Amino acid sequence: MQNNAQSHVFYQTRLHRPRLDRAEGVYLWDVNGKRYFDGCSGAMVSNVGHSNPRVLDAMRRQMEKSTFGYRLHFENDAAEELARRVAELAPAPLDRVFYVSGGSEAVESCIKMARQYAIARGEPERYQVISRYPSYHGSTLGALAITGYDTLTEPFAPMLRTMPKIPAPTCYLDRDNLSDAERGLRYANMLADKIEELGPSTVLAFVVEPIGGASTGALVAPDTYLPRIREICNHYGILLIADEVMTGAGRTGQFLGCDHWQVVPDIAALAKGFGAGYVPLGAMLTRADIVDAVLDHNAFQHGFTSAGNPLACATGLAVVKEIVEQDLIANTRTVGAALKSALAELMDEFPFVGDVRGKGLLLAMELVQDRESMEVLPPAMNAANRVVDIAYDRGLIVYARRTRGGNSGDHLMVCPPLITTLQQVDEIIEKLRDSLRQFSSEL
């Protein structure tokens, strides 16, 4: 009998891409021998580059010892050592690490930890989790309930307990007379208004991407924003959950995105660059008092079979060591600054590049009809995806998403691995400039 099996991918089911053969450093090769610059680290995942010999070596060594030991049966050294390393890099007092296998699982875990903590504290009426629109927090139903991205949530609307949202601080679209600092406070204060509207005693947590990811295209709020959010959460006794799935593990030039503002969340989600594409690995990071309250009350009613397995943790440990020993966070700041200014220079040639933003190597450019009004390009044009296709043909991989929460707005994420050199910035820019020229000629 004929076998018609196919595997399916995220979002686009009819993407015709060549098959991957091998990858090394910042490059990938397809089976035809064509080389691609990984200009977005997959999906902001491959932070330490591909086929890193020290990570592969650590994986091999762990594989020869054990790959799986169920966590109810055994502790494992790699899991404990990785937790110690993470606690050294993360701000105090975040030193409790709960492993998962990806970003959606990490976000679900944060929400469930927050909820059980409220129950343990004698506040079972707290259940509403406020998040932002647009935002992306994962594909599972719980993570989708706090996601603000219409095309992803709409098919599942009747099945979701859709949670309340406040607008993301898209200050670059505002045409008012406020200063940046005032705008930051204005958006942050929307959280207080929402809490008042919902009834403060019913609100459990606020979930935020400290720097926007794929949903808003590396959106950086004014410096007043996140500290004010922290104050509001403290004032109402609600937990601040940082979704650091994309921003964490050094991507933005600090270990956590929140570190740019010295804001410490109560709970944080890590994934993507934490396993860096070598293994599926994520984590929920939180404080001892939260974990202890939950464990003492009724244990944490949650967990995943594969979580914390020795192979995943040994790999995560090698990735984190690589970040520290190769000084990749400092490199991210230097190379990110150079890449960001080179991207901004492209605005001189291409009037449809409306904005360049981001921190470290979490960078994006938004494509618009008109830079003054920031009006979007016609959605049917599918502009960012068109640029992605052109760049792909030219051997540069970048990442396209919609910017305005629905099916409109275009941005390109340019987020190469944290090992990228200054010379490689020139390579990215050259390919991107050629791609934008071709796109421009098609307009």
**Contact residues for ligand PMP, defined by CB under 6 A:** 43, 102-104, 107, 136-139, 209, 213-214, 243, 245-246, 271
Nearest-approach distance from CB 438 to ligand PMP, in angstroms = 28
Cβ closest to ligand PMP, residue 131 vs residue 424: 131
Cβ closest to ligand PMP, residue 40 vs residue 48: 40
**Which residue of the chain is nearest ligand PMP when measured via CB?**
103
CA–chain centroid gap for 104, Å, is 11
Cβ closest to ligand PMP, residue 225 vs residue 352: 225
Cβ closest to ligand PMP, residue 147 vs residue 224: 147
Nearest-approach distance from CB 146 to ligand PMP, in angstroms = 10
Nearest-approach distance from CB 278 to ligand PMP, in angstroms = 14
Nearest-approach distance from CB 209 to ligand PMP, in angstroms = 5
Q: Position of tokens 């899991």? A: 79
Q: Give φ, ψ of 317 to 5 degrees.
A: -65, -45
Tokens standing for 279?
Answer: 């293994």
Cβ closest to ligand PMP, residue 274 vs residue 439: 274
Is it true that the peptide bond before 93 is cis, omega within 30 degrees of 0? yes
Q: How many helices (H) and strands (E) does the chain have?
A: 13, 16
Tokens standing for 344?
Answer: 């901004």
Side-by-side strand order, sheet with 128-133 = 94-100, 282-287, 267-270, 239-243, 203-208, 128-133, 165-167
Nearest-approach distance from CB 363 to ligand PMP, in angstroms = 15
Tokens standing for 250?
Answer: 């050094």
Nearest-approach distance from CB 440 to ligand PMP, in angstroms = 29
Nearest-approach distance from CB 107 to ligand PMP, in angstroms = 5
Instruction: Tell me the HSE value of 57 on the side-chain side, using a 13 A CA sphere.
Output: 5
Cβ closest to ligand PMP, residue 121 vs residue 302: 302
Cβ closest to ligand PMP, residue 107 vs residue 171: 107
- Find the largest Cα–Cα distance for the chain: 70
Nearest-approach distance from CB 274 to ligand PMP, in angstroms = 10
Nearest-approach distance from CB 401 to ligand PMP, in angstroms = 9
Spatial separation of the C-alpha atoms in residues 293 and 117, rounded to whole Å: 7
Helix, coil or strand: residue 5: coil
Cβ closest to ligand PMP, residue 83 vs residue 106: 106
Cβ closest to ligand PMP, residue 247 vs residue 424: 247
Question: What angle in degrees, to the nearest 10, is found between the helix axes of 225-236 and 180-198?
Answer: 20
**Are the CB atoms for 238 and 206 separated by under 8 Å?**
yes
- CB < 8 Å & 24+ apart, contacts of 12-18: 17/392
Cβ closest to ligand PMP, residue 243 vs residue 366: 243
Helix, coil or strand: residue 198: helix
**Residue spans of alpha helices (H) in 121-171:** 141-145, 150-153
Spatial separation of the C-alpha atoms in residues 107 and 165, rounded to whole Å: 16
Nearest-approach distance from CB 147 to ligand PMP, in angstroms = 8
Spatial separation of the C-alpha atoms in residues 161 and 142, rounded to whole Å: 8
